[in-house]
Amino acid sequence: MKTLIWAAVAVLFMIPCEVLAVTPSPTPGSGQECWTIECEYFDTKSGGFSQPRSNASNDRTWRFVPASGEWIMDLPSFPVAGNYTICLRYSNDNNPGPYETVRIELDDEEVCTFVSSNTRPGGGAPGDGWNNFHWSNTYSMGSCTAGSHILRVELSGGDSYGFELDAVLICGPEPPTPTYTPTRTRTPTRTPTRTPTRTPTKTPTPPPGTTYTPTPTQVPATWTPTPTPGDLPVNVSLDMPSHFFQAGDACYLRCSFDSHDIFQYGNAFVILEVAGNYFFAPGWSKEMDYYEFLMVPGQFEIDPWPIPEFVWPADVGSGGPFVFWSAVMDYYLVELLSNIDNWEFSYD
């Protein structure tokens, strides 16, 4: 069976694909996971420009022409080895032709070539096809190893107006559901049983250049209200041993995630709010900072924790309430991918 698979892959790399027949929106096969790459974001710009299109999947495309026509993307790591497929969403207002030839390569090996079609709708005027998108056929990329790969789309032939690439859909084997095992076991040396009921007698020492004035806790004005859980691909959760700390108590800050999205790079924010000032982990400065990671389906956490376990010291006065905030945004810091969680605490 393995010999037959590799023989099929070898034939695929040697023989160009047939002329394109436009297909409906692709759907994953049984046991497959799929993810979409927006083509206005990619690694190497050899020519072309980002083009606004209201019917594009992210409201923009990348327009390029055969004279300088290539689109290159460093793909996120394939989670498991196996057979993967690819298809392209594009537009090409080109009637009556000639039509561009599209070549797809993976790691400098040809996957397929096809001739693009005219996407102008029937009876449409010249130019109407640029905002009318077609999916290509689905093509096999053969047996791929786990890890990173380089995807390249090239144009040749056609006319001087080129081709607009909207999105790339890649489907591969569904990875096994990960088993979540905590990386550490935390046993607080002391678990406080009371909650603060008195006004602090001392104010904490604020960071240099700030003045502490207790104010009601507010979400930063630039953030949107917390979406309904389940509506977003990631659920973020902050955890500390208590909401109130005294000398000798165990203290730490843990940030964990439950992702039901498929492989996507994200940026996790963990922020400490102190008297209207915001300090960003992991550097804990006012300069924007965050954790970069590849989200995969399942449960995982920031490791090492944003604040590793320590014993709350004596003689530091009283203070609070202070608030930790956490949320996940996409790689380009444009879209919120998670709920916004928070943890309020005080100390005496």
Q: For residue 120, what is the domain's CATH number? A: 2.60.120.260
Instruction: Grade residue 177 by pLDDT with cuts at 50, 70 and 90.
Output: low
Together in a domain, 113 and 215: no
Instruction: Grade residue 278 by pLDDT with cuts at 50, 70 and 90.
Output: very high
Asked if the model's pLDDT at residue 241 lies above 90, the reply is: yes
Together in a domain, 159 and 205: no
Q: What tokens appear for 92 in the block? A: 């090409």
The more confidently predicted of residues 205 and 83 is 83
Domain containing residue 267: CATH number? 2.60.40.10
Peptide bond into 28 cis (omega under 30): no
Together in a domain, 223 and 193: yes
Give me the pLDDT at residue 146, please: 85
- How many residues comprise the chain? 348
pTM value? Answer: 0.48
Domain membership of residue 231 as a residue range: 177-348
Final residue of a domain: which of 143, 173, 203? Answer: 173
Range with the lowest mean pLDDT among 8-12, 61-65, 299-303?
8-12
The more confidently predicted of residues 123 and 241 is 241
Phi, psi at 111, each rounded to 5°:
-90, -45
Give me the pLDDT at residue 240, please: 95
Q: Identify any residues that bridge with 324 across adjacent strands, giving them in sequence order.
A: 272, 343
Instruction: Grade residue 183 by pLDDT with cuts at 50, 70 and 90.
Output: very low
Range with the lowest mean pLDDT among 5-9, 73-77, 266-270?
5-9
Q: Specify the number of domains making up the chain.
A: 2
User: Using CA atoms, how far apart are residues 154 and 152, in angstroms rounded to an integer?
Assistant: 6
Question: What mean pLDDT do residues 99-127 have?
Answer: 89
Angle at CA 53, nearest 5°, toward 48 and 56?
100
Dihedral sign from CA coordinates of 253, 257, 263, 265: negative
